[in-house]
Amino acid sequence: MALIIVLVIVVLIVLALVVMYNGLVSLKNRVDEAYSDIDTQLKRRHDLIPNLVNTVKGYATHEREVLENVTAARNGAVSADGPQAQAQAEGVLGQALGRLFAVAEAYPDLKANQNFLALQNELTDTEDKIQASRRFYNGQVRLLNTKVESIPTNVLAGIANITQREFFELEDKTERETPQVSF
Amino acid sequence: MYEQITANKRKSFALFAGFLLLYGLIAYALYLYVGPIGGAITMGIAVVMSLTALFGGDDLAVRVAGGQRVERKEDAPELWRMVENLAITAGLPMPRLYISPDPSANAFAAGRTPEQAIVCVNQGLLNVLDDAELEGVIAHELTHVRNYDVRLMTYATVLAGSIALIAQLLSHALWFSGGRRSRDSGPGGIIGLVAVVLVIVLAPIAATIIQLAISRKREYVADAGAVDLTRYPQGLASALMTISGDQTPPQRDERTIAHMMIAPQLTPGGRSSALFSTHPPTEDRIAKLMEMAGGVPHQKRTPVAQQFIEGQAGGQRGELDRAQSSPEQVPAPAGWPTGLGAPADAPRHLGSPSQRAGGSVPPPGEH
C-alpha cells in the first residue's frame, strides 16, 4: 500500500516537472518568435528610409547633413545585433528621422509631394507596429525571466540551458525628449 | 491569464459534451414516446447544430449581425490599422474584420481559435466613439479572443439557440395536442405531456448555458486585458459610458448574439434585453476602469466615423492633439508585464495612448 502511494507521488512529481519544462520551452520559443516579429517591422522601416532620403533630396538640397545623418543612422540600425544594441540604434535612427521631418516643414513643395506623404504615413504605421510588437516581446520576456529566476523552474531552466533575455527598450533618455532642432 | 484560457477550453468541452448528452436524452425520450422518426429528427438537429457550432458559429454570428467583411486594408485603413496594431500587441494574428451597418453602438468577437477569430464592429459604434475609445473596445474584444472566451461564447450561442429552438417546436406541438386532447386522450396527450416536461426542463438549461458563458468575471478580465493592451483605461471607460448612454436601437434582432456584445444590447423595440440580467452592470465596469485610470477622465474628441471622412490627416491630428492634451506624460516602462495582475499598478505608469508603449520613436510629422 505504502509502495503504491510513493509510486503515485513520484509519478505526479514527474508529470509536474514535465509540464513545467514544456511550459518553459514554449515560452522561450514564443520569445524568439516575438523577437523575429519586431525584426520584420524593423526591416520594413529600414527599407523605407532610402526611398525617403531620395525623395527629400530632390527638394531639400541644402539639408545634406541631416540626410547623411539619417543614412548613417539607418546603416547603424541595419548592422546592429542583439536587443539592446538594436534598440539603441533604432533610438538614434528615430532622432535622425525626427530632425528630417522637422526640416521638411520648411519646404512646402516637399510637404505637398504625394510620395513623401505616403512614405511618412508608412513610417508612422511601421513605428506603431514596432511599438506593438516590442510590447508583446517585452511582456513575453518578462514572463520568461520570472520563470527562469523563480523556484522551481530555475532548476529546469538551468538544465535546459534557458537563460534570461534582454528587454527591447527604447528607453534611451535623450530619445524621450523632443529632438532639439536648430534652424 | 493562462488559467483562464485552460478553464475556457475545459468549459467549452464540457458544454459540448453536455449538449450531446442532452440531445441523446431528448432523442431517446422522443423515440420512446413518438417513435423512431422523432428520435431521428432530434439526432439530425443535434448533428447539424454541432457541426455549425464547430465550423460555422462565427459566420453565423456575423450573419445575425449583418456584418460586411473588410477584405483589404485599403477599404478601412484606420480601423484596419488599429485592429492590426492591437493584435500585434496581444500577440494574435490579424482577425477577420467586419463592419455591420447597424446604427446601434456595439461590437463583438467570435471564432473557435485565435487564428479563425472575427471582430465585428457596428457602424453605430464608429459614429459615436473617438479613436481612443474605439481602441479600448477593440482591445476588449481581442482579449476575449486571446482568452478563448470566444470559443465558449460561440458554442454557447449555437447550442443554447438550438435548445431554445427545440423547446419552441415542442411548445407549438403542445398547443396542437392540447386542442386534440379535449376530443380523445390518444397519443396526442402523451406528446403533450412529454412536451410540457421537456419545455419545463429545457428552458432553464438553455438559460444556464448562456449564464455559464457570460460570467461576470469574464467581462472584468477582458476589461483588464484591454487596459493591458492600450494602457489607457479612460478610453474603454468612456466608450462604455457612451455606449450605455446611446439609445439607438439596433435594426436587426441581435438577441441571439447579445451576450457576445461589448455592452448590454437593446432589443429592436428599445427594451433592454432580459438576457442581460446576468451581465455585470456597466456602471461597475466603468467604476473599476476609472479606478485604474486614477480618476483622470478621458477627453472626448471627434467620433471615428467623422475622422475617417476627414481623411488620414484628421486621424493624425487627433493623435497629436491627444499627446499634447494628456495631463500625464509619464510613459510606462517597457518591461511592463502583459500578465493580468498588471493593471493594479497601472495608474502610475499611464501616459497618453500615443506614448503608452514607453516612449519609443516619436512619430514623424509631429515635430
B367–A143 CB contact, under 8 Å: no
Residues 6 or more apart whose CB falls under 8 angstroms from that of A125 comprise B81
Contact A88/B at CB under 8 A: no
B338–A121 CB contact, under 8 Å: no
B88 to chain A nearest CA, in Å?
5
Buried b / exposed e across B23-51, counting CB within 10 Å, b at 16+? beebbebbbeebeeebbeebbebbeebbe
Whose cell is 493623435? That residue is B319
Contact A39/B at CB under 8 A: no
Torsion region of B330: left, alpha or beta (phi above 0 gives left; psi -120 to 50 gives alpha) = beta
List pLDDT tens digits, range B137-191: 999 999 999 988 888 887 877 777 777 677 666 666 656 555 444 444 455 566 6
List pLDDT tens digits, range B316-338: 433 333 333 333 333 333 333 33
Tell me which residue in B85, B339, B364 faces A143 most closely, judged by beta carbons: B339
Contact A43/B at CB under 8 A: no
Which residues from chain B sit within 8 angstroms of residue A167, using beta carbons? 334-335
How much is the CA Rg of chain B, to the nearest whole Å?
A: 23
Distance CA B303, CA B105 (A): 12
Q: The complex's ipTM?
A: 0.75
Residue B95, pLDDT score: 94
List pLDDT tens digits, range A22-64: 989 999 999 999 999 999 999 999 999 998 888 888 887 778 8
Residue A171 has pLDDT above 60, yes or no: no
A131 to chain B nearest CA, in Å?
6
Amino acid in position A179: P
Most A-contacting residue of B83, B345, B349, B360 (CB-CB within 10 A), to test interface: B360
**Which stretches within B231-338 are classed as H helix?**
233-245, 282-292, 304-310, 312-325
Q: B133, B135, B141, B319: which one is catalytic?
A: B141
List pLDDT tens digits, range A91-133: 889 889 988 888 888 888 888 888 888 898 889 889 889 989 9
pLDDT less than 50: residues of chain B = 179-185, 268-277, 311-367
Which residues from chain A sit within 8 angstroms of residue B365, using beta carbons? 101, 120, 124
The strand ranges marked E within chain B are: 68-70, 96-100, 107-110, 118-122
B361–A170 CB contact, under 8 Å: yes
pTM greater than the 0.80 cutoff: no
Residue A183 has pLDDT above 60, yes or no: no
The answer to whether B263 and B107 have CB atoms below 8 angstroms apart is no
Q: Which residue of B has its CA nearest to A35?
A: B91
Distance CA B255, CA B238 (A): 24
